[in-house]
Amino acid sequence: MSNTEEMQEFVTVTIADQMFGIPVLQVHDVLGSVKLTNIPLAPPEVAGALNLRGRIVTCIDIRKRLGLPQAENDHKPMSVVVEHHGEPYSLLIDSVGEVLSLRTDKLEMNPGTMDSRWREVSSGIYRTEDNLLVILQIDRLLDFAGGANVAA
């Protein structure tokens, strides 16, 4: 714990009761529920677009991306805004938790039995005291060239 270089901080978010970690340095904003503009014909993972202080942010439905069940109708998602290749994206999540500082050497490999869609976007798992934290790799998460068939 003495060497800070081995520490990494993650914002924890919850999606469908699963905890995920997003590297804190990549998180630009956390937004409450906002009005989305639907984008017809877009890949299914694209939930729409929103206006963040004059910037147009593309929203990604992580549930669809990860093949999780759809939320109930009255569900009001929050979003975490990240940047990818200079473009802002907002990831729809259920709720945001605390920021955890974790030792990089504690990161464990993705279990081989994990859904391939998850393995694709996760760089590993942390065991916290009462939860398992799946670390999301934003680059992979937002790179869904073959994404169209993921949620189909």
Query: Which residues bind to other proteins, rule: CB under 8 A?
Result: 35, 37-43, 46, 48-51, 54, 56, 58, 85, 87, 89, 142, 144
Q: Which two tokens stand for residue 128?
A: 């916290």
The smaller minimum CB distance to other proteins, of residues 42 and 109, is found at: 42
Q: Alpha-carbon distance 108 to 74, whole Å?
A: 36
Q: Which two tokens stand for residue 42?
A: 């877009």
* Helix (H), strand (E) at residue 117: helix 116-121
The smaller minimum CB distance to other proteins, of residues 76 and 85, is found at: 85
Handedness of CA 20, 24, 29, 32 (dihedral sign): positive
The smaller minimum CB distance to other proteins, of residues 52 and 107, is found at: 52
The smaller minimum CB distance to other proteins, of residues 4 and 76, is found at: 76
Enter the DSSP assignment of 108. B
Q: How far is the CB of 88 from other proteins (least distance, A)?
A: 8
Q: How far is the CB of 46 from other proteins (least distance, A)?
A: 7
Q: Alpha-carbon distance 141 to 58, whole Å?
A: 13
Q: How far is the CB of 83 from other proteins (least distance, A)?
A: 11
